[in-house]
Amino acid sequence: MALWQPPRVPFVFLRHGETDWNRDGRLQGRRDLPLNRVGRAQASRASLLLRDFQFCAVFHSPLGRAEETARLAAGARAVPFHSVAALAECSFGELEGQVAGQVWPGWRSAWMAGQSLPGAETYADFLSRAESALGAVLRQSSGASAPPLIVAHGGVYWALQRALDTGFDGDLPNCVPVLHRPLGRSGWNVTALGL
């Protein structure tokens, strides 16, 4: 059972579209890289997958790749857009720009266990920030007639899934919308759209 429970509000999470560093398997963190051609096409495809959804608002990370994805995925909807600083990707410090598969083995597990990475955000701080961001977005969306669309990063989603205790394990592909609906008193029904 999860120790942390956000407001019981349905929401759709969308990881930003592909960048050149995603394509190359590099850790991006806070580096503000734009979408590439594939990423823009992915965001347009996400718009089609979401065409039957109404959203109360779009909340996105302040990083350009997330904001561009949000604009493309939301299409012509006349909804408010909110940039949320706490939805930014984790800062991986000196690891940013390195190919993930070439970073020392076990770095992610060690980081999650509390080991510091040079110049990086701690796992505990990152998890707390991601939880706080989701809680704030869902509180702001409580009582709305439609769910919010949250556009952020793979790391943010990875942290949220652990916090929500949905059983998710692995990396969310770029631009796959994921619908989250409260299930019972504490669980969540999680449905990836278009997979």
Q: How far is CA 30 from each of CA 6, 95, 155, 181, rounded to the nearest angstrom? A: 25, 11, 11, 29
Q: Tens digits of per-residue pLDDT, 143-195?
A: 999 999 999 999 999 888 888 877 766 789 999 999 999 988 888 899 999 86
For residue 56, the model assigns a pLDDT of: 97
Cα dihedral: 186, 52, 62, 9 (round 10)? -20
**Homologous superfamily of domain range 11-192:** Phosphoglycerate mutase-like (3.40.50.1240)
For residue 185, the model assigns a pLDDT of: 81
**Structural contact between residues 79 and 56, judged by C-beta atoms closer than 8 angstroms:** yes
For residue 169, the model assigns a pLDDT of: 67
For residue 46, the model assigns a pLDDT of: 97
Active-site residue numbers?
A: 16, 89
The 178-183 sheet, strands edge to edge:
81-83, 58-60, 149-152, 11-15, 178-183, 187-192
Beta-bridge mates of residue 81: 58
For residue 162, the model assigns a pLDDT of: 82
Q: How far is CA 1 from each of CA 5, 132, 147, 186, rounded to the nearest angstrom? A: 10, 19, 24, 8
**Structural contact between residues 25 and 101, judged by C-beta atoms closer than 8 angstroms:** yes
Residues in the chain: 195
Structural domain spans, the chain: 11-192
Task: Tell whether pTM > 0.85.
Answer: yes
Greatest extent of the chain over all pairs of C-alpha atoms, in Å: 47
For residue 173, the model assigns a pLDDT of: 95
14, exposed or middle or buried, with CB in 10 Å at 0-12, 13-18, 19+? buried
For residue 76, the model assigns a pLDDT of: 86
For residue 4, the model assigns a pLDDT of: 67
Which residue ranges of the chain lie beneath pLDDT 50?
1-2
For residue 3, the model assigns a pLDDT of: 55
For residue 186, the model assigns a pLDDT of: 80
